[in-house]
């Protein structure tokens, strides 16, 4: 039993080290890979937008607050944010692809990853606020998710 616990702790420690290692941006190796990378990251952002839509409507009073939708969408946004580093780590600048991504993503990828961390933190806090049942926290939590999105758009998305 003690050996099994030690083995589990070793696996957890190794997993934590791997999970906490920053993703490194790499150049696309072909036009085909660059096109696929753009398609995948655009799909990711479409999913993000579909989860933000109801939250924005709630924050603006166009939809009634729904704690379950907030929890679900907060969880999805957090999961999508977990994928962002992987899907945006392919630097497509050297290829002829239509993208709204600014070069600054790959010029300082660690800064970009910190913005992703802000989104994950805000999405997690949204889930906590929704679980609290305290409607006075809802608008601020939704606003923080929106601000995290806007922070990335301002710095990393072409208009």
The mean per-residue pLDDT over the stretch 103-130 comes to: 97
Question: How many distinct structural domains can be found in the chain?
Answer: 1
- pLDDT, tens digit, 9 for 90 and up, residues 48-93: 999 999 999 999 999 999 999 999 999 999 999 999 999 999 999 9
98 within some domain: yes
Contact in structure between 101 and 156 (CB atoms under 8 Å): yes
Distance, CA of 9 to CA of 29 (rounded, Å): 38
Tokens 């791997």: give the residue: 18
How far apart are the C-alpha atoms of 86 and 106, rounded to whole Å? 12
- The chain-wide mean pLDDT, for the chain, equals 89
Q: Please, which residues bridge with residue 157 across strands?
A: 101
Q: Is residue 10 part of a domain?
A: no
Q: Which whole number is the average pLDDT over 115-142?
A: 97
Residue 153 is assigned to a ligand binding site? yes
* pLDDT recorded at residue 22: 61
Quick check: is 97 in a domain? yes
Q: How many helices (H) and strands (E) does the chain have?
A: 6, 2
Eight-state DSSP code of residue 21: S
The answer to whether residue 15 is domain-embedded is no
Report the percentage of the chain scoring pLDDT > 90: 84
Domain contains 1: no
- We report the CATH number of the domain holding residue 59 as 1.20.120.10
Q: Is residue 75 part of a domain?
A: yes
Between the CA atoms of 27, 157, 117 and 107, what dihedral angle is there, to the nearest 10 degrees? 40
Dihedral, 118, 124, 128, 134 alpha carbons, nearest 10: 50
Please give the residue range of the domain that contains residue 100. Answer: 23-156
Q: Which DSSP string do the residues of 44-105 spell out, in sequence order? A: HHHHHHHHHHHHHHHHTTSS---HHHHHHHHHHHHHHHHHHHHHH-EE-TTS-----B-THH
152 is known to lie in a ligand binding site: yes
């Amino acid at each position: 039993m003690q050996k099994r616990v030690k083995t589990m702790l070793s696996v957890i420690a190794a997993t934590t080290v791997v999970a906490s290692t920053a993703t490194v941006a790499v150049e696309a190796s072909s036009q085909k890979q660059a096109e696929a990378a753009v398609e995948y990251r655009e799909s990711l952002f479409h999913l993000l937008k579909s989860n933000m839509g109801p939250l924005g409507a709630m924050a603006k009073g166009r939809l009634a607050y729904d704690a379950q939708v907030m929890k679900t969408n907060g969880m999805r946004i957090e999961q999508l944010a977990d994928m962002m580093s992987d899907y945006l780590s392919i630097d497509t600048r050297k290829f002829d692809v239509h993208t709204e991504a600014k070069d600054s993503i790959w010029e300082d990828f660690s800064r970009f990853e910190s913005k992703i961390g802000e989104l994950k933190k805000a999405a997690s806090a949204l889930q906590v606020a929704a679980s609290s049942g305290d409607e006075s926290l809802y608008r601020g939590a939704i606003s923080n998710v929106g601000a995290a999105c806007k922070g990335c758009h301002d710095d990393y998305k072409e208009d």
